[in-house]
Amino acid sequence: MSMFLKKTWVGFPLLLTLISAIGPSTVHAQVQLSHPTGGWRASASSGAFMQDVNYPASRVNLREGASVSAQISGHIQQARKPGQAGAPAQLVVNGVPMPLETDESGQFARPYAFGAGSNSVQVRSADGQHSRRVQFIDQGHASRARLRVVLNWDSPGTDMDLHVISPSGQHCFYANRVIGGGGALDVDVTTGYGPEIFAATNPERGTWQVYVNYFGGGDGASLTTAQVSIITAEGTPQETQRVQRIPLRATGDLQQVLSFAVR
């Protein structure tokens, strides 16, 4: 009898361990990531960095036939629907957080220009209770963005515009989405939150400037906080990330968020 009790006592914590191991799987099942997938891949045969320009786009979306190696897509069960109160889901790519809108069914899909090397993608539900994260190594020859500027903001139904000005005066924004040095703006989001992403593989040396314009939407007089993330030397030991937040008070408000040097 004592031997039986001893075996039962040893088995009980083992059962608890098994239950705790099952728990995270239940949590992860609420958020599904179709792309990207984890592991190793070789997605590009050339050295070109492809920053897709999707325009017009009222909210972040994919062009039909977009490469699976240059997108983030999946599904969040019981996701907050467009137009509902509250913050959207969150997407974190290589440590940079940004909002993630879903459609009525909880689906999401957005373009993203990944570079060669290690990449991580995490999707979190709006309530923060569920998440899914994948990490992959791209063995392709595509170069990384040496400069990436990410704009997002905290209000639905609003149109904020990212303006990036190079040292030589090239102005990248929704009406001029491609500039020299491999720089491009991916989308013009007009329905709130963003993100809008500018990326360049060979940015000019010198001082860059970033502006945000409250173009319209909402009631035209709602305080919105814009967040701009600057990532340089992405994916290298020299990578730096800088985040700046700035309030925009009404339609037409134009603010210089920051200036920074590329050396």
- pTM given for the model: 0.77
- 263 residues of the chain, pLDDT tens digit each: 444 333 334 443 444 343 334 444 444 558 999 999 999 877 654 445 556 555 555 556 666 777 777 789 999 987 777 667 677 899 999 988 888 888 888 898 888 888 778 899 999 998 889 999 999 988 765 667 889 999 999 888 889 999 999 999 999 999 999 998 889 998 888 888 888 999 998 899 999 999 999 998 877 667 899 999 999 988 788 889 999 999 998 899 999 999 999 98
pLDDT at position 2 = 43
Question: Which residues, in sequence order, are bridge partners of residue 38?
Answer: none
- β-strand partners of 207: 261
Could you state, in order of their start, the residue ranges of all structural domains in the chain?
2-262
Supply the pLDDT for residue 132.
95
The confidence score (pLDDT) of residue 15 equals 40
